[in-house]
Amino acid sequence: MTKGHTITIEQGDQHVRVVHGDLVLAESDRPLVLRETGSPARYYLPAEDVRLDLLTPSGTHTVCPFKGTASYWSLPDAPDLAWAYPAPKPDVAAIKDHLCFYAPEVS
C-alpha cells in the first residue's frame, strides 16, 4: 500500500441484500467488508450469493492501483451496477470470487 492509503478486509456478519426494482440481485449473510482510505465501506458478496443469471458482463474494466483490474456486470436498465476483481492484487486476495454493488441494503 502507498503511504497514507490503507485497505482492510474483514468477514462481516451483516445481512446484505441488493434489490433493483423488484428484482433481488443478491442476498448474503457472509459479506466481506472492505474499508479503503477515502472511500465508503464496501460489501463484497460471494459469487454464489449473487444472481449472476440476471446480470450480463459488460465491456467496462477499470484499474485500481491497490486492488487490480475490475470487471463489471449490468442489467438492461442499469449499466455497470456490480463489479469484481477476478485476479485481485495479493494484499486484497480475499475479494476474489466476490462481487460488489453500489447501493446494497445492509441490516
DSSP for residue 50: B
CB atoms within 10 A of CB 27: 16
pLDDT at residue 47, rounded to an integer: 98
Domain 7-106 CATH (choose: 2.170.150.40, 3.40.50.1100, 2.40.30.10, 2.40.160.40):
2.170.150.40
Whole-model pTM: value is 0.94
pLDDT at residue 107, rounded to an integer: 85
Q: What pLDDT, in 10s, does the model give residues 60-83?
A: 999 999 999 999 999 999 999 999
Q: Which region, left, alpha or beta, applies to residue 68 given φ > 0 means left and ψ of -120 to 50 means alpha?
A: left
Site of grid cell 476474489: 96
Q: Residue 1: is its pLDDT beyond 60? A: no
Of 4, 17, 9, 1, nearest in space to 96 by CA: 9
